[in-house]
Amino acid sequence: MADNLCFMVKSDIQNIKLRFGIIGNTEGLNRAIDIAMQVAPTDLSVLVTGESGVGKESFPQIIHQFSRRKHGPYIAVNCGAIPEGTIDSELFGHEKGAFTGAISDRNGYFAEANGGTIFLDEVGELPLSTQARLLRVLETGEYIKVGSSKVQKTDVRIVAATNVNFADAIAEGRFREDLYYRLNTVPIKVPPLRERPGDIALLFRKFAADFAEKYRMPSIQLNEEAKRMLVEYPWPGNIRQLKNITEQISIIETNRDITPEILSTYLPDFASNSKLPTFVGSKGTAHSGGKSFESEREILYQVLFDMRRDVTELKKLVHEIMAERDAGRHGTHPVENKPHFLQDSTMDVITDMPMVVPHVQQYPQVGQIQPVTPTSITPVPTTVVKRDDSSDYQDTEVYVEENLSLDDVEKEMIKKALERHNGKRKNAASDLKISERTLYRKIKEYGLE
């Protein structure tokens, strides 16, 4: 009896894979499909988690098609692609005149999906105000249009998906804990491709056949060594990356028998190339050159600290060059056991060339340069001094380094970017290498409006 039941479950899973184009036989993938089948007949909220590119979008469709709502509407919404200022209107609708440009009444996605299923992709990107509205829909099925005071009702099954680490998002105050527990009634975790080594060759063969048919050319084939290389690669972009690389090879390579030498030219070496950022963390963290970053803010800080270190090394190099020039003029050699930047008396400047003297403290005898410690990432002010044989060197300004918090640094960078682009947020966001929506949130958080 148990064997027959197990066989029926496996048969059902295989039929679902064929219907929805899912390829793979690993236990983690089969478990995720089985949970989707079990929860489909209910109206429970489902949260699908997994890294970007693992194929999370297939599971809400499975849940909808095997539910009693399969004849109702199915709407998929990418929450991360909707600007923060309009997302409430998109989800819940608005009344005429609610805001500039609202020339007529409009139903939102929750009204249009009444009696069906709504899939909220990238739900972790929702702003806090929208999260509160969504929580009310989950608890009571009620919502209010933007600009209205009338309560609306909707009967919608909510399936959400994200690659955000909710534990970190909740701790940082970016996601409501009560909303998380409402969405996470039934969790489904889709495993990353690196945890499905037996499926990689199957997926490659399927993609190769599809592209051969699409472009009307012979299908590419991997030899055994190339297959081994394919399986051992970590695939930070998961199935999406594998599909893209298969398409590249299918189009570019004239030799249809792919060797490890050919394949290696299409697989970025993320382990040795720190300039290529990869997002492969199981908790949504970003990896680059062996370092992990929990958010784009930490990536920005790391870049700033690296710049600070480079500036410090450049200062030391300038000091050494100055000391060697001084020793050459006087026929002496620098003291080996004494750092060059602690030499006494005044220092000659490179002949007839302006020189930047970094971080010089003002003492009764000018010229003693103190070692620099990276206590902050504040730019060091400099004073340009030219050589003048008839006079002493001019005094440099006194500079006291201040310890700034990371929030202060981020706020100052955003403020300067906005000033540089005359308040144009789109250009400022592009300059800061962040999304426009993230910039809106930071402006509101720091009171820069």
pLDDT digits (tens, 9 = 90+) for 38-63: 999 999 999 999 999 999 999 999 99
Q: What is the CA radius of gyration of the chain?
A: 30
Which domain CATH number covers 420? 1.10.10
| CA neighbor of 234 nearest in space, from 285, 284, 188, 195 | 195
The answer on 204 and 176 residing in a single domain is no
Task: Say whether pLDDT at 153 is over 50.
Answer: yes
- Percent of the chain exceeding pLDDT 70 equals 74
pLDDT in tens, 170-196: 999 999 999 999 999 999 999 999 999
Contact 98, 86 (CB under 8 A): no
Task: Say whether pLDDT at 379 is over 90.
Answer: no
For residue 332, the model assigns a pLDDT of 55
Answer yes or no: is 31 within a domain: no
For residue 46, the model assigns a pLDDT of 97
SS3 letters across 11-60: HHHHHHHHHHCCCCCCHHHHHHHHHHHHHCCCCCCEEEECCCCCCCCHHH
The answer on 70 and 120 residing in a single domain is yes
Which domain CATH number covers 120? 3.40.50.300
Average pLDDT score over residue span 13-38: 94
Answer yes or no: is 174 within a domain: yes
More confident call, 36 vs 413: 36
Torsions phi, psi for 438 (to 5 deg): -65, -40
Answer yes or no: is 422 within a domain: yes
Answer yes or no: is 85 within a domain: yes
The answer on 186 and 45 residing in a single domain is yes
Task: Say whether pLDDT at 381 is over 70.
Answer: no
The answer on 258 and 224 residing in a single domain is yes
Q: Which of 131, 166, 191 is the last residue of a domain?
A: 191
The answer on 174 and 69 residing in a single domain is yes
Lowest mean pLDDT among 100-109, 161-170, 426-435: 426-435
pLDDT bracket for residue 403 (50, 70, 90) = low
For residue 351, the model assigns a pLDDT of 40
For residue 148, the model assigns a pLDDT of 93
Average pLDDT score over residue span 227-253: 94
| CA neighbor of 146 nearest in space, from 102, 79, 93 | 93
Task: Say whether pLDDT at 375 is over 80.
Answer: no
Domain count, the chain: 4
Helix 197-215 / helix 224-232 crossing angle, nearest 10 deg: 120
Task: Say whether pLDDT at 159 is over 50.
Answer: yes
Q: What is the pTM of this model?
A: 0.59
Answer yes or no: is 10 within a domain: no
The answer on 207 and 302 residing in a single domain is no
Task: Say whether pLDDT at 119 is over 70.
Answer: yes
pLDDT bracket for residue 166 (50, 70, 90) = very high
For residue 129, the model assigns a pLDDT of 94
The answer on 230 and 372 residing in a single domain is no
For residue 53, the model assigns a pLDDT of 93
For residue 372, the model assigns a pLDDT of 45
Query: Measured between alpha carbons, how far is 185 from 45 in angstroms, rounded to an integer?
Result: 6
Q: Which of 172, 191, 210 is the last residue of a domain?
A: 191
Answer yes or no: is 130 within a domain: yes
For residue 333, the model assigns a pLDDT of 53
The answer on 186 and 43 residing in a single domain is yes
- Percent of the chain exceeding pLDDT 90 equals 55
pLDDT bracket for residue 330 (50, 70, 90) = low
pLDDT bracket for residue 404 (50, 70, 90) = low
Contact 179, 131 (CB under 8 A): yes
Query: Measured between alpha carbons, how far is 248 from 211 in angstroms, rounded to an integer?
Result: 10
The answer on 92 and 67 residing in a single domain is yes
For residue 276, the model assigns a pLDDT of 41
Answer yes or no: is 371 within a domain: yes
The answer on 270 and 312 residing in a single domain is no
The answer on 339 and 287 residing in a single domain is no
Structural domain that includes position 207? 195-291
Mean pLDDT for the chain overall: 80
The answer on 147 and 261 residing in a single domain is no
Which domain CATH number covers 237? 1.10.8.60
Answer yes or no: is 24 within a domain: no
| DSSP 8-class letter at 223 | -
